[in-house]
Structure 1
Amino acid sequence: MSDALTMLRRNVRHTQRNPTTLVMTIALPVFLLLVFVGVFGGALNAGFGPPGGDYIDYLVPGILLMTVGYGAGQTAIAVNRDVTTGIISRFRTMAISRAAVLTGHVVGSTIRTLISAVLVVGAAMLFGFRPDADPARWLGTIGLMTLVTLALTWLAVAVGLSARTPEAVGPFIFVVQLLPFLSSAFVPPDSMSAAIRWFATHEPFTPIIDTLRGLLLGTPVEHGGIVAIAWSVGLALAGYLWARALFRRDPAA
């Protein structure tokens, strides 16, 4: 625990010295929020917005998941920077818990991403977002956001460890930024063409976004919440095991 706290302090100091990471994690989702609400919102709400509601209420859960994706992408780059500059190799030779090195990145990134999500919700309220969640649903929203953030962050750590160069992290960043567009984040899957509708219905981001939407808007979540939790736990476990295996691997192998 002591080693993990040391690594967490290191991560926090890096964020303080380079606040661009936090700023971009907030700025990009807010920019998308502004574009889809201010530019396309009227047409989208008229076409297939939720009856009796504003398009921004439908949109915000997807933007929150994109915030998590942007944060995970920055984590993958930070971990890869540690690998390529040699500090990971140095940590391997020190008398510290190996798990602490990864834990510091994950906890630091999770805290940074959740702060970004809170600020994005605040910006969304300025644009007209009006959630209808009671305290229990807000707790559920925070819990699911934390779980999803942990899942994508562990995957990001594994990708950062496995990539040979910072450029090799690009495909992961592309995927986590693209998948929300092929989900229920911006429009209902029912409005999509057949092939894309099938993919959007079965990909992991759709049940997570739908569950967040139900929690925030006070609508029924039903079995989608179980699917969202299952996807999040599965991705988190896969990322954790992959990252631990990579970190334990002999770098000369």
Structure 2
Amino acid sequence: MTALSTEHIPAPSGTAGFGVTAKAIAVRTARKILRSPQILGIAIVQSIVFLLMFRYILGGAIGITGVDYVDFLVPGFVISGMLFTAGGSAVAVAEEAAGGLYDRLRSLPVSDWAVLAGRGIADAFLLVVVALVTTGVGFLVGFRMDTSPGDVALALVLLCVYALVVACVFVWLGLVAGNAQAAQGLSILGVPFSFISSAFVPIATMPGWIQWFAEAQPLTFWINSWRGLLLGDPVVQSFEHDLSYYIVGGLLWAVVLLAVFSPLALRAYRKR
């Protein structure tokens, strides 16, 4: 992502100042994303290419009881794919930090929390856009939902929540990395979480010694909640727990991760 200008960042005045500042930074960053085809385009193309690889190259070798593999794959890929897309956000944050943007912002009478909130919201916006486009491509290659409008609406809300959490984690990664190359390297740490989850294969097919991690980690809760809301009873019946368990558990994981990584990001921001 391109660097954010410090021009016209409003000074805060209590709670309203926080909101105005966060909105200003989020809107400016989101506009730069939309006006930079290489940013949005690369993120979308990368996501689509990986989806097609799993759909047509690996999908034929993987069988899922009670549901077509493409239906099983798309929700899992969309949620886990946010970790790959967010790597670019971490690189952008590291570049902005190295370029002195955050030094300039800290010299202004604006809330540090607002700066990070604005950046996180903009990055979450990118993640949601890529996720929705990828889901649309999923329909083109055979994905079908079996759900209600209410469940779809809830799935969209959860997607936004999950995207914000992922954005927060990767903003922190970008701030602690020190430079773009290090940020890119640190982003690879998200890969094991993507594959050791319910994203691509049922957890029951994994070795017993790794199943406990796959079942407990946040991505599995997020993936199963999204998959259950979009596919309904055929897939929910295969879960170890009912759908509400994964929805509530996923939201609890979201709260925990935000509570941990938001202060860490603030600390890293102030130490730059």
1:232 aligns with 2:246: no
Residue matched to 2:132: 118
One-letter code aligned to 1:240: S
Q: Which moved more, 1:226-235 or 1:15-24?
A: 15-24
Residue matched to 1:18: 36
1:44 aligns with 2:62: yes
Q: Are 1:207 and 1:224, in contact at CA under 8 Å, matched by a contact in 2?
A: yes
One-letter code aligned to 1:167: Q
Q: Are 1:71 and 1:109, in contact at CA under 8 Å, matched by a contact in 2?
A: no
> Equivalents in 2 of 1:42, 1:237: separation in Å?
41
> Equivalents in 1 of 2:85, 2:50: separation in Å?
15
Shift of 1:151: 0.8
Secondary structure of the corresponding residue to residue 40 of structure 1: helix
Q: Give the 4+ runs in structure 1 shifted more than 3 A.
A: none
> Equivalents in 2 of 1:66, 1:30: separation in Å?
13
1:95 aligns with 2:109: yes
Mark the runs of 5 or more structure 2 residues left unpaired by the alignment.
1-18, 237-242
Deviations 1:11-61 (A, max 9, x none): 12431443222222222222122112112222212xxx131x210100011
Secondary structure of the corresponding residue to residue 129 of structure 1: coil
Shift of 1:130: 0.3
Deviations 1:162-213 (A, max 9, x none): 1222222234311223311111111111111122223222222112111111
What is the identity percentage for the equivalent residue pairs of Structure 1 and Structure 2?
Answer: 30
> Equivalents in 2 of 1:9, 1:213: separation in Å?
31
1:198 aligns with 2:212: yes
Residue matched to 1:244: 266
> Equivalents in 2 of 1:5, 1:237: separation in Å?
21
Deviations 1:50-93 (A, max 9, x none): 31x21010001111113321232121111111110111101111
One-letter code aligned to 2:23: L
Residue matched to 2:48: 30
Mark the runs of 5 or more structure 1 residues left unpaired by the alignment.
none
1:107 aligns with 2:107: no
**Partner of residue 196 from structure 2, selected from 167, 182, 187:** 182
One-letter code aligned to 2:136: G
Normalised to the residue count of structure 1, the TM-score between the two structures is 0.90
> Equivalents in 1 of 2:43, 2:192: separation in Å?
16
Q: CA RMSD in A?
A: 1.7
Q: Are 2:44 and 2:130, in contact at CA under 8 Å, matched by a contact in 1?
A: yes
Q: Are 2:177 and 2:186, in contact at CA under 8 Å, matched by a contact in 1?
A: no
Query: 1:111-150, aligned counterparts within 5 Å?
Result: 111-150=125-164
Secondary structure of the corresponding residue to residue 43 of structure 2: helix
> Equivalents in 2 of 1:222, 1:163: separation in Å?
37
Deviations 1:99-152 (A, max 9, x none): 232122111111121111111111000000001121111122112111111111
Q: Which moved more, 1:6-15 or 1:100-109?
A: 6-15
* Count of residue pairs brought into register by the alignment: 246
Q: Which moved more, 1:19-28 or 1:9-18?
A: 9-18
Normalised to the residue count of structure 2, the TM-score between the two structures is 0.84
Residues 104 and 113 of structure 1: is their aligned pair in 2 closer, same or farther, counting only changes over 3 Å? same
Q: Which moved more, 1:14-23 or 1:122-131?
A: 14-23
